[in-house]
Amino acid sequence: MYIRTRYKVSAFAAAAACSAVALSAVPAIAAPIDPTAFIVVQAGTGSSRATAAITAAGGTVTQAWPQVGVVVAEASDDTFDDQLREMDGIVAAGPARALVAYQPTAGITPDGEVLGLGAGTSGGVDASEPLNANQWDMRLIGADKAHLQTDGSRSVTVGVLDSGIEADHPDLAANVDASQSVSCIDKGRPDTTPAAWQPTTSDHGTHVAGTIAAARNGVGIVGVAPNVKLASVKVVDDDGFIYPEYAICGFLWAADKGMEVTNNSYFIDPYFLWCRSNVDERASIVALERTLKYTEKQGVANVAALGNSNWDLSKPITDSGSPDNQDPVIRETAGNCYDMPVEVGNTVGVSATGATSDKAYYSNYGVAVTDVAAPGGDRFVLPGTPDNNGRILSTVVNGGWGYKQGTSMASPHAAGVLALVFSADPSLTVRKAIAELESDADALACPTEPYDGNQDGTVDAVCQGGTNGSGFFGAGMIDALDAITP
């Protein structure tokens, strides 16, 4: 494997000036690299101009999405993207990952969470669901009360863009729709064979799916919307990465299959924050912006996790973990840098709380970034349930149940509530459904004392918004009952 000889620095930004410095002034000297994916965006929709440019520059088209004017190419020339950016009709072009040799690490969860796993064994509050007594999260958002009115409609599908769903899990089998499921991890090319879209190295997607729609069937737990359908849209490869072409494929699949909601409990690799001022990273940002706008026009509400770094995403951030597919560099990022997909637009950004509705110690936050809050679990906050576990109980592989925490666990609660909203009123537009979610959320005030989420005696975060708490919680804690009540 060849190491890229002209590495283009991802985003060394001067925080005060909100600018990034890239090595774009260095003359491009062609060097061979292993065949690698590039994102190419042409002017307007279609794919003919991008395809012609790719061919002229010596690349190969691996996947095209003419509905958004985005093409994935493969090339072995270090200057491939530089050539494309000089061609007529090309808006942006750049690699889909940092082009440096790396050793993949199997078994990484999509958002790098530290997960506490367990198994609930106690009797349930809902006598029909044996583990429901440990689901403090469902009661916190009023899902138990909403279920007295509806469990959701079979005409509503939630696409779980994640590591795959175990289709024969006893709590999920009734709701997983194989006809709408797909894998996107082969260069962004859809693969509908069941083996492709089921989990291989991670149970993350199975856990997320259970929170959304574990069936009411007398087994295990119950989800927020236990009667809606689930589509497994696999965007996490076996090394734990979610590259841009995987996510774009997943979003467009959901849109073109007519799904109502997608859940996105991940960030897009290899950058924690993608910076528009860097020509390499800009292409993926533009491609994802177009994709998310398209999905909304097609009637899809996209819900996304804010991330688990305890970052204020509204402020300049020191990112020391990117790119994550090779040795990272320290980058000072500012206003033109985004946690993708949650900050790109056309998503609902969800922060995480523990059992007492306080911000979870790990949860990212920020004014104008956080739309709503939902239970994500917090190991420092014990709920007084039979298991007394502050994390979120849901389905895991091999037909089991276990505990995890993260904004990954918060986001599916909001996705489930949106599924109930669309079930209650199928005529709603995406924006009206999201407005219901946000307007019916229960406002949470900023903490009155300095915030010390991990209880180590140090102030960990500062909440903006005063009594409306928007910095930590956006519109507030989601409320399933109020969201479906006229």
Tell me the per-residue pLDDT of 420-435, one tens digit each, with 9 for 90 and over: 999 999 999 999 999 9
Banded model confidence at residue 123, pLDDT cuts 50, 70, 90: very low
Tell me the three state secondary structure of residue 424: helix
Is residue 86 predicted with pLDDT exceeding 90? yes
Quote the pLDDT of residue 124.
37
User: For residue 72, is pLDDT > 60?
Assistant: yes
How many Cα neighbours within 13 Å face the side chain of 215? Answer: 16
Mean pLDDT, range 64-74, rounded to an integer: 98
Query: What is the rounded average pLDDT of the residues 143-169?
Result: 98
Average pLDDT over residues 33-55: 94
pLDDT confidence tier of residue 31, bands split at 50, 70 and 90: low
pLDDT at 394 over 60: yes
Mean pLDDT of 86-90: 97
Phi first, then psi: give them for residue 422, nearest 5 degrees.
-65, -30
> Six-digit token pair at 86?
């000089």
17, burial (CB in 10 Å: exposed 0-12, middle 13-18, buried 19+): exposed
Confidence of residue 127 (pLDDT cuts 50, 70, 90): low
> pLDDT class for 30, splitting at 50, 70, 90?
low
**pLDDT classification of 32: cutoffs 50, 70, 90:** low
Distance CA 233, CA 228 (A): 16
Contact partners, residue 432, CB within 8 Å, separation at least 6: none
Percent of the chain scored above 90 by pLDDT? 84
pLDDT (0 to 100) of residue 35 = 83
**Is the bond preceding 323 in cis, omega lying within 30 degrees of 0?**
yes
Query: Which residues touch 435 (CB under 8 Å, ≥6 apart)?
Result: none
- With a cut of 70, say whether residue 314 has pLDDT above it: yes
Task: Quote the CA–CA distance of 111 and 307 in Å, as a whole number.
Answer: 7
Average pLDDT, the chain: 89
Q: If pLDDT is split at 50, 70 and 90, which confidence band does 34 have?
A: confident
- pLDDT for residue 474: 98
In the structure encoding, which two tokens stand for residue 381, read together? 């906050």
pLDDT over 50 (residue 15): no
Say yes or no to pLDDT of 98 above 90: no
pLDDT surpassing 50 at residue 81 = yes
Residue 11 pLDDT exceeds 80 = no
Cβ-contact 40, 71 below 8 angstroms: yes
- Peptide bond just before 130 cis, omega within 30 deg: no
Lowest-pLDDT range, 94-98, 218-222, 243-247, 304-308?
Answer: 94-98
Question: What pLDDT does residue 33 have?
Answer: 63
pLDDT tens string 157-189: 999 999 999 999 999 999 999 999 999 999 999
pLDDT band at 335 (very low <50, low <70, confident <90, very high): confident
What's the mean pLDDT in 364-387? 97
Give me the pLDDT at residue 105, please. 31
Average pLDDT in the 292-297 region?
98
The C-alpha atoms of residue 472 and residue 462 are separated, in whole angstroms, by 9
Cα angle 65, 70, 71; round to 5: 80
Please tell me the distance from the alpha carbon of residue 151 to that of residue 157, in angstroms, as a whole number: 13
Q: Which neighbouring-strand residues pair with 191?
A: 183
| DSSP H or E stretch at residue 76 | strand 70-77
pLDDT confidence tier of residue 271, bands split at 50, 70 and 90: very high
Check whether 391 has a pLDDT greater than 80. Answer: yes
Q: Over 90: is that where the pLDDT of 103 sits?
A: no
Beta bridge partners of 128: none
Q: Is the pLDDT of residue 28 over 50?
A: no
337: Cβ contacts below 8 Å, ≥ 6 apart: 11, 13, 20, 273, 274, 275, 276, 317, 319
Which among 339, 335, 231, 341 has a CA at the least distance from the CA of 293? 341
Q: What is the pLDDT of residue 20?
A: 32
pLDDT at 21 over 50: no
Asked if pLDDT for residue 40 goes beyond 80, the answer is yes
DSSP code string of 283-351: HHHHHHHHHHHHHHHTT-EEEEE--SS--BTTS-EEEEEESTTS--EEEEE-TTEE-TTTTSSSSEEEE
Query: Percentage of residues in the chain with pLDDT exceeding 70?
Result: 87
pLDDT at 5 (0 to 100): 23
Q: What is the pLDDT of residue 78?
A: 83
